[in-house]
Amino acid sequence: MKMDKSTGEILRENREKKGLLLRQVAAKLDIDTAILSKIERSERKATKEQIIKLAQILDLKEEDLLVQYLSEKILYEIKDEELGQKALKVAEQKMKYMNKNNSND
Amino acid sequence: MKMDKSTGEILRENREKKGLLLRQVAAKLDIDTAILSKIERSERKATKEQIIKLAQILDLKEEDLLVQYLSEKILYEIKDEELGQKALKVAEQKMKYMNKNNSND
DNA sequence: AATTAATTTGACTATCATTGTCAAATGAAA
DNA sequence: TTTCATTTGACAATGATAGTCAAATTAATT
């Protein structure tokens, strides 16, 4: 599981590998080329729907791309936080706890 | 580190322990009583600034309250996601990786 | 039980972040 | 040097978040 590349980098690499133009992929996503350009350079975030479509278009495993995308969203949330690391750990604990006791809810 | 209580519950418990009224605490935060009421019942999220002030007002350790608060924000981000657990793990990995190589940036 | 004080609810507004378009500027290829 | 692809930045549209206010409800006092 490669953790070094950003979602944007992955998208660009794979688009180029397929010889597709920004214009072409953007059209399939029904957005302006400019946005896709920004997404690939991590200047903007994609939406979940766009990620799903992109996985299809670029023949990537949807789950992998989504996990990558979501993890970036999480990090974005705490990127400026001293306590980010601690908060992440606690979040994981809570998550486990929730899943253990998810009988109701 | 108690993980079972929500930020709201912690806030309410400690406000009541001190015998303070919503009205009084809300005044110090310079917001309407209604919002604080909602925050304590987890119907709304507090802002970071409010959390910091609340830690002071209620004599709670700022770091603990902030970690609690941030972890809740993270979970909120992935609460509806199948892949939340995986995304959290990947986020932690990335975080570690970043901190290891944070020489520049 | 009646009154008063505290909290909750919900409709509404204001503010801010996000997502998008568009046109012009830049860069790369032919 | 023209043409095509990408990038940039100003702006508009949308959506989410944070807030006010007044009325309804609940809890305490007398």
Range of the domain at B82: 7-100
- Average pLDDT score, chain A: 92
Burial of B101 (0-12, 13-18, 19+ CB in 10 A): exposed
Q: Does the beta carbon of A80 lie under 8 angstroms from any beta carbon of chain B?
A: no
The Cα–Cα gap between A81 and A63 comes to: 28
Q: Does the beta carbon of A66 lie under 8 angstroms from any beta carbon of chain B?
A: yes
Q: What is the CATH number of the domain that holds B19?
A: 1.10.260.40
Task: Using pLDDT thresholds of 50, 70 and 90, give the confidence band for residue A61.
Answer: very high
Tell me: the pLDDT tens digits for A16-32? 999 999 999 999 999 99
The Cα–Cα gap between A13 and A24 comes to: 15
CB of A72 closer than 8 Å to CB of A47? no
Per-residue pLDDT, averaged over B7-25, amounts to 97
Residue B26 domain flag: yes
Residue B105 domain flag: no
Percentage of chain A modeled with pLDDT above 70: 92
CB within 8 Å: A90 and B71: yes
Residue B87 domain flag: yes
Residues of B in contact with A6 (CB under 8 A): none
CB within 8 Å: B93 and A3: yes
User: Residue A101: is its pLDDT beyond 70?
Assistant: no
Tell me: the pLDDT tens digits for B38-94? 999 999 999 999 999 999 999 999 999 999 999 999 999 998 899 999 999 999 999
The Cα–Cα gap between B103 and B105 comes to: 7
Task: Using pLDDT thresholds of 50, 70 and 90, give the confidence band for residue A1.
Answer: low
Residue A2 domain flag: no
Residue B76 domain flag: yes
Residue B2 domain flag: no
Q: How far is the CA of A17 from the C1' of D5 (A)?
A: 16
Per-residue pLDDT, averaged over B16-24, amounts to 97
Residue A1 domain flag: no
User: Residue A100: is its pLDDT beyond 80?
Assistant: no
Q: How far is the CA of B56 from the C1' of C18 (A)?
A: 33
Nucleotide minimizing C1' to CA distance for residue B35: D19
Residue A73 domain flag: yes
Residue A2's pLDDT is what?
56
User: Residue A44: is its pLDDT beyond 50?
Assistant: yes
CB within 8 Å: A74 and B75: no
Q: Does the beta carbon of A56 lie under 8 angstroms from any beta carbon of chain B?
A: no
Number of domains in chain B: 1
Q: Tokens 């980010």 sit at which residue?
A: A84
